[in-house]
Structure 1
Amino acid sequence: MAFVLLLWLHLLLLLLLVIVFVPHLPPCEAQQSYVNNLQLNCDQNPNTTLGFVCNGASTSCTSYLTFRSTPIYNNPVNIAYLLNADASQIAAANNISDIDTLPTDTLLIVPLNCSCSGPNNNRYYQHNASYTLNLQGETYFTVSNDTYQALTTYQSMEAQNSYNLCRLVPGLRLNVPLRCACPTPNQTAADYRYLLTYLIRQGNSVDSIAGDFSGAGADVQGILDANELTPDQIIYFFTPLLVPLTTPPTRLNINTRPSPPPPASPPLILTTPSAQTGGGSDSRKWVFIGVGIGAAVVVLFASRFAIWFFFLRRHKAPFPPKQLADESGGVTTARPLPNWSVSSESIRGALETLALYKFEELEKATESFSESNRINGSSVYRGSFKGDNAVVKIMKGDVTREIGVLRQINHSHILRFSGFCLHQGITYLVYEYAEKGSLTDWLRPPNSIIMVQHNKRNLNDEQRLDWKQRVQIVYDVGDALNYLHNFTNPPYIHKNLKSSNILLTISGYVNEYASSGVSWIIDTFSDSVMSVCLTKTEIIAGSVDGTVRTFDIRIGRELSDDLGQPVNCISLSNDGNCVLASCLDSTLRLLDRSAGELLQEYKGHTCKVTSVSYHPKDECMVTASVDGTIKVWKT
Structure 2
Amino acid sequence: MNQIVLVFFLLNSLSLCVHSQQNYSGISAQDCQKKDQTGKSQTYLYSCNGQYPSCQTFVILTSQPDYNSVATISNLTSSNPEELARINKVTRLTVFPLNKEVIVPVFCSCMNQYYQANTRFILGQNDTYFYVANHIYQGLSPCSSVMLANPYDEFNLHPNRELQVPLRCACPTSNQSANGIKYLVTFSIGQDDNVEDIAKRFNVSSRSVLDANGFSEENPILSPSTAILVPLPTEPSSSQTVVRKSYNSNPTRHKGKRKVYVIFAIEAVCVVLVLCVVLCVAILFYKKRSNNKSPPRGNSKRATWVSPEDLRVEIASFEKFLHVFGFEEIKKSTEDFSSKNRIKGCVYYGVFGRETLAVKKISRDATNEVNILKKINHFNLIKLEGICTYQQHFYLVFEYMEKGSLKEWLNGNNNKNSDSEETLSWARRIQIALDVAQGLNYLHSFTEPAYVHKNIKTSNILLNTNLRAKISNFSLAGVAKKETRSRSLSTHVVGTRGYLAPEYLEMGLATAKMDVYALGVVILELITGKKASIKQNGRKVLLSSAVVSIMEGDNAEAELGLLIDPVLKGENRIELAMRIAQLSVACLNRELERRPIMEEVVSSLLKIQADLLKSELVLDVDSFISG
Taking structure 1 as the reference length, the TM-score comes to 0.43
Higher-strand-fraction structure: 1
Higher-helix-fraction structure: 2
Tell which structure's C-alpha radius of gyration is larger: 1
**TM-score calculated relative to the size of structure 2:** 0.44
